[in-house]
């Protein structure tokens, strides 16, 4: 079971933009190999930073409006939001150490 909950257009503003903690959003798709490979890395970071940050997932095939809203053209695209603003992003595969270090800058 993934530590990263799915988020949709309906709850994106509440879960991400109005969050009291930093949020890393993983824009992904079922057919994307690197997206499947990065999932355990994200789960490990979610566990490590539990209570300090949230990790959520947006399926770009199911939520094309959200992907378009943030200009996602390549996946996996990891975007970090803090206090309602996009503050950082990473594209492609990354290790849990790199993801955690990047996210911890905003905790």
User: Would residue 12 show up in a list of annotated catalytic residues for this protein?
Assistant: no
* Strand pairing report for 23-28 and 54-59: parallel
Contact (Cβ atoms closer than 8 angstroms) between residue 44 and residue 98: no
User: Would residue 35 show up in a list of annotated catalytic residues for this protein?
Assistant: yes
Tokens of 105: 């800058």
Set 6, 21, 29, 32: catalytic member: 32
Set 35, 53, 60, 77: catalytic member: 35
CA gap 56, 96 in Å, rounded: 15
Tokens of 48: 């490590």
Alpha helices in the chain (DSSP H): 9-12, 33-48, 64-69, 96-104
Show which residues are catalytic.
Answer: 32, 35
């Amino acid at each position: 079971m993934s530590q990263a909950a799915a988020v949709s257009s309906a709850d994106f503003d509440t879960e991400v933009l109005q969050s009291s903690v930093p949020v890393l959003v993983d824009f992904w798709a079922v057919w994307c190999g690197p997206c499947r490979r990065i999932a355990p890395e994200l789960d490990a970071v979610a566990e490590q930073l539990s209570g300090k940050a949230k990790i959520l997932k947006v399926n770009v095939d199911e939520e094309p409006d959200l992907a378009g809203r943030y200009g996602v053209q390549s996946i996996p695209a990891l975007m970090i939001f803090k206090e309602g603003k996009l503050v950082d992003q990473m594209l492609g595969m990354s290790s849990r150490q790199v993801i955690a270090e990047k996210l911890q800058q905003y905790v």
